[in-house]
Chains A and B, each alone.
Chain A
Amino acid sequence: MKIGIFTKGAKVAAVAAAMVVSGTVAQAADTSLTGSGASFPFPLYSAWFKDFGQKTGIEVNYQAKGSGGGIEDFTNRVVDFAASDAAMNDEEMAKVDGGVVLLPMTAGEIVLAYNLDGVSELKLPRDVYPKIFLGEITKWNDEAIAAANDGVDLPDEDITVVVRADSSGTNFNFTNHLSAISKEFESTVGGGKTVPWPKASNFIAAPGNQGITATVKQTPGAIGYIEYGYAQQTNTPYAMLENQAGNFVKAGPEAGSAALASADLDENNVAFITDPKGEQAYPIATFTWMLFYKSGQDADKVAALKEMINYGLTTGQTMADKLGYIPLPENIIEINKKSMEEIGG
Chain B
Amino acid sequence: MADISKSAPQSDGSVSRPPTAFEYGYDKSFRFLTFFAGLLIVVLLAYIFWKIGGLAAPAMREYGLGFLTTVEWNPNTNEYGILAEIWGTLYSSFLALIFGGGLGIAVAIFLTQGFLNARLAWVFRLIVEMLAAIPSVVFGLWGIYVLIPAIRPIANWLHDTLPFVPFFSTKLAGPGMFPAMIVLSIMILPTVAAISQDAFKAIPMKIQEAAYGMGTTKWEAIRKVIIPTASGGIFASLVLGFGRALGETMALAMLIGNSQQVSLSLFSPATTLASLLASTFPEAGANQIGPLMYAAVALLVITMAVNVIGTIIMSYTSRQTVT
CB within 8 Å of B: which residues of A?
3, 65-69, 158, 160, 165-169, 190-197, 199-207, 211, 214-215, 218-219, 221-222
- Contact call B269/A158, Cβ cutoff below 8 A: no
- Contact call B269/A194, Cβ cutoff below 8 A: no
- Per CB-CB distance, the 7 closest pairs between chain A and chain B, nearest first, are A205-B258, A167-B283, A165-B258, A219-B174, A160-B173, A201-B170, A166-B279
CB closest residue in chain B, given A166: B279
* Also in contact, A206 and B175, with CB within 8 A (given A165-B279, A192-B76, A201-B265): yes
Complexed CA–CA distance, A205 and B276 (Å): 11
| In the complex, chain A residues whose CB is within 8 Å of the CB of B267 | 201
- Contact call B72/A196, Cβ cutoff below 8 A: yes
Given contacts A190-B76, A192-B75, A218-B149, 4 further A-B contacts (CB under 8 A): A68-B282, A167-B75, A195-B74, A201-B263
- Contact call B75/A201, Cβ cutoff below 8 A: no
* Also in contact, A196 and B283, with CB within 8 A (given A201-B170, A205-B258): no
* Also in contact, A219 and B283, with CB within 8 A (given A194-B75, A199-B260, A203-B259): no
| In the complex, chain A residues whose CB is within 8 Å of the CB of B73 | 194, 196
Complexed CA–CA distance, A128 and B214 (Å): 75
Chain B interface residue count: which class?
35 or more
Give min CB distance, A117 to chain B, whole Å. Answer: 14
Complexed CA–CA distance, A222 and B72 (Å): 24
> Contact partner of B275 among A65, A165, A169, A195, CB < 8 A?
A165
- Contact call A66/B283, Cβ cutoff below 8 A: yes
* Also in contact, A214 and B144, with CB within 8 A (given A68-B283, A205-B269): yes
| In the complex, chain B residues whose CB is within 8 Å of the CB of A207 | 253-254, 258, 278-279
Contact with A along B248-292 (1 / 0, CB 8 A): 000001100111110101011101000100111011110010000
Contact with A along B7-19 (1 / 0, CB 8 A): 0000000000000
- Contact call B282/A204, Cβ cutoff below 8 A: no
| In the complex, chain B residues whose CB is within 8 Å of the CB of A196 | 72-74, 260
Complexed CA–CA distance, A194 and B80 (Å): 12
| In the complex, chain A residues whose CB is within 8 Å of the CB of B51 | 3
CB closest residue in chain B, given A2: B54
Give min CB distance, A238 to chain B, whole Å. Answer: 19
* Also in contact, A160 and B76, with CB within 8 A (given A65-B282, A68-B285): no
- Contact call A199/B279, Cβ cutoff below 8 A: no
CB closest residue in chain B, given A196: B74
- Contact call A167/B284, Cβ cutoff below 8 A: yes
CB closest residue in chain A, given B54: A3
* Also in contact, A194 and B288, with CB within 8 A (given A165-B258, A201-B265, A215-B174): yes
- Contact call B148/A218, Cβ cutoff below 8 A: yes
- Contact call A168/B259, Cβ cutoff below 8 A: no
- Contact call B258/A67, Cβ cutoff below 8 A: no
Complexed CA–CA distance, A67 and B268 (Å): 32
- Contact call B285/A201, Cβ cutoff below 8 A: no
CB within 8 Å of A: which residues of B?
51, 54-55, 71-77, 144-145, 148-149, 170-171, 173-176, 253-254, 257-261, 263, 265, 267-269, 271, 275, 278-280, 282-285, 288
> Contact partner of B259 among A69, A197, A218, CB < 8 A?
A197
* Also in contact, A166 and B280, with CB within 8 A (given A199-B260, A214-B144): yes
Give min CB distance, B262 to chain A, whole Å. Answer: 9
Between A and B, 29 residue pairs with Cβ closer than 8 Å are: A3-B54, A3-B55, A68-B283, A68-B284, A68-B285, A158-B171, A165-B253, A165-B275, A167-B75, A168-B283, A190-B77, A194-B74, A195-B76, A196-B72, A197-B259, A199-B261, A200-B259, A201-B170, A201-B173, A201-B261, A203-B269, A204-B174, A205-B271, A205-B279, A206-B175, A206-B254, A207-B258, A218-B174, A222-B173
Complexed CA–CA distance, A199 and B258 (Å): 10
Give min CB distance, A344 to chain B, whole Å. Answer: 29
| In the complex, chain A residues whose CB is within 8 Å of the CB of B176 | 201, 204
Complexed CA–CA distance, A218 and B51 (Å): 41
Give min CB distance, A189 to chain B, whole Å. Answer: 9
Name the residue among A3, A193, A196, A201 with the largest chain B CB count within 10 angstroms.
A201
| In the complex, chain B residues whose CB is within 8 Å of the CB of A214 | 144-145
Complexed CA–CA distance, A194 and B148 (Å): 26
Complexed CA–CA distance, A168 and B280 (Å): 9
| In the complex, chain B residues whose CB is within 8 Å of the CB of A168 | 283
Complexed CA–CA distance, A204 and B265 (Å): 15
Name the residue among A205, A214, A221 with the largest chain B CB count within 10 angstroms.
A205
Complexed CA–CA distance, A65 and B283 (Å): 8
CB closest residue in chain B, given A161: B173
| In the complex, chain A residues whose CB is within 8 Å of the CB of B279 | 165-167, 205, 207
Name the residue among B145, B258, B261 with the largest chain A CB count within 10 angstroms.
B258
Give min CB distance, A177 to chain B, whole Å. Answer: 15
Complexed CA–CA distance, A218 and B174 (Å): 8
Give min CB distance, B150 to chain A, whole Å. Answer: 11
CB closest residue in chain A, given B283: A167
Complexed CA–CA distance, A215 and B275 (Å): 17
- Contact call B282/A219, Cβ cutoff below 8 A: no
Complexed CA–CA distance, A69 and B289 (Å): 12
- Contact call A204/B54, Cβ cutoff below 8 A: no
